[in-house]
Amino acid sequence: MQINDTAALVTGGASGLGGATAKALAGQGAHVFALDLAASIEKADQVEGITYVEADVTDPEQVRAAVDTAAGSGVPLRTVVNCAGIGPSARILSKKGPHDLNLFRKVVEVNLIGTFNVVTVASEAIAKTEPLADDQRGVVINTASVAAYDGQIGQIAYSASKGGVVGMTLPAARDLASHGIRVMTIAPGIIDTPMLATVSDEFRAGLAAGVPFPKRLGRPDEYAQLALDIVRHDYLNGEVIRLDGSLRMAPR
Q: Which residues are the active-site residues?
A: 158
Query: With DSSP H G I counted as helix, E B as strand and the rest as coil, what are the percentages for the chain, rounded to 5?
Result: 45, 20, 35
Nearest to 188 by CA among 158, 209, 168, 157: 158
Nearest to 4 by CA among 231, 238, 243: 231
Q: How far is CA 249 from CA 27, 39, 51, 151, 246, in A?
A: 34, 32, 36, 7, 10
Nearest to 229 by CA among 238, 241, 217, 219: 241
Nearest to 190 by CA among 22, 17, 14, 55: 17
Q: Round to whole Å and give the CA distance between 2 and 10.
A: 17
Q: Which residues pair with 54 in a beta bridge?
A: 36
Question: Cβ contacts of residue 55 below 8 Å, gap of 6+?
Answer: 11, 35, 36, 37, 62, 63, 65, 66
CA-only gyration radius of the chain, Å:
18
